[in-house]
Amino acid sequence: MDAVERAAALREYAEQTASCTKCALSAGRTQVVFGSGSPDADLVFVGEAPGFHEDQQGVPFVGQAGKLLDRLLEGIGLTRADVFVANVLKCRPPGNRDPQPEEIAACEPHLFRQIELLEPVLVATLGNFATKLLSGRPAGITRVRGTPQEHRIGGRAVLVMPLFHPAAGLRTPRVAQTLREDFERIPDLLSRPAPETPPVEEAGTPAFAAEAASDAEADQLDLFG
Ligand code: URA
């Protein structure tokens, strides 16, 4: 797909998801927060779920955590216009509670389709929910952050870089410092040749989804894990 086709395909998919009613969150949302940024981005960030401001504005990471994300990007010479930002859930959970397994299961096809259309070089997962979903592994963010992993997403091998969630960085200066250090590795990861041999396990398969959902149920996921 060339840049024009990719932008059109993403726009069309955004229009389709705007009326999604696959889970109960559709009843309480102001709007679906599809994601924003460059359709041609090599780098895609995946957060958790829209909060109050995101639900109001229809754009991910526009609150305080988003401002930290902007500063972290600026620190490596990037802006939002250079990347694409999305979330595991496209609709706001009430009171900003954690995503529920059935919500993740209902919404994950949207994220996988986005990644399939975007064909990024690198997916940076922000926090536990995105990391566990896209890695298909139960290991928490504290353990895996900063170590890139290769995964098969949308039929392609993609490098996944687990990072702390910016909201955790707002609460704990040590986490903010770790985030800065992990972000500094991103330019090098982006310049690596794309992984060639896709691992067999595909994120988004029914088995994968079931494992991620039961894991989410089993442990009380939080931003640190
Ligand atoms: N936190 C997230 O994970 N996503 C947003 O869009 C905003 C805050």
pLDDT digits (tens, 9 = 90+) for 161-175: 999 999 999 999 999
- For residue 223, the model assigns a pLDDT of 54
Q: Which atom of ligand 1 is nearest to the CA of 88?
A: 3
Q: Count how many domains the chain has.
A: 1
Domain that holds residue 144: 31-222
Residue 180 in any domain: the answer is: yes
Q: For the residues 200-220, what does the mean pLDDT come to? A: 45
Residue 158 in any domain: the answer is: yes
Q: For the residues 117-129, what does the mean pLDDT come to? A: 97
pTM (2 decimals)?
Answer: 0.90
Residue 117 in any domain: the answer is: yes
Residues 192-206: b if buried by 16+ CB within 10 A, e if exposed: eeebeeeeeebbbee
- Confidence band of 224 (pLDDT split at 50, 70, 90): low
- For residue 192, the model assigns a pLDDT of 85
- For residue 1, the model assigns a pLDDT of 87
Residue 12 in any domain: the answer is: no
Q: Is the pLDDT of residue 137 over 70?
A: yes
Q: Choose one of 29, 32, 34, 61 to mutate for the ligand 1 pocket test, by most ligand atoms within 8 angstroms of C-beta.
A: 61
For the Cβ of 38 lying below 6 angstroms from any atom of ligand 1, the answer is no
Rounded to the nearest angstrom, the distance between the alpha carbon of 88 and the centre of ligand 1 is: 9
For the Cβ of 49 lying below 6 angstroms from any atom of ligand 1, the answer is yes
Rounded to the nearest angstrom, the distance between the alpha carbon of 60 and the centre of ligand 1 is: 6
Torsions phi, psi of 140, nearest 5?
Answer: -75, 165
Residue 165 in any domain: the answer is: yes
Q: Which atom of ligand 1 is nearest to the CA of 167?
A: 1
Contact 185, 161 (CB under 8 A): yes
Q: Which atom of ligand 1 is nearest to the CA of 60?
A: 6
109: domain CATH number is 3.40.470.10
Q: Is the pLDDT of residue 67 over 80?
A: yes
Mean pLDDT of the chain: 90
Residue 182 in any domain: the answer is: yes
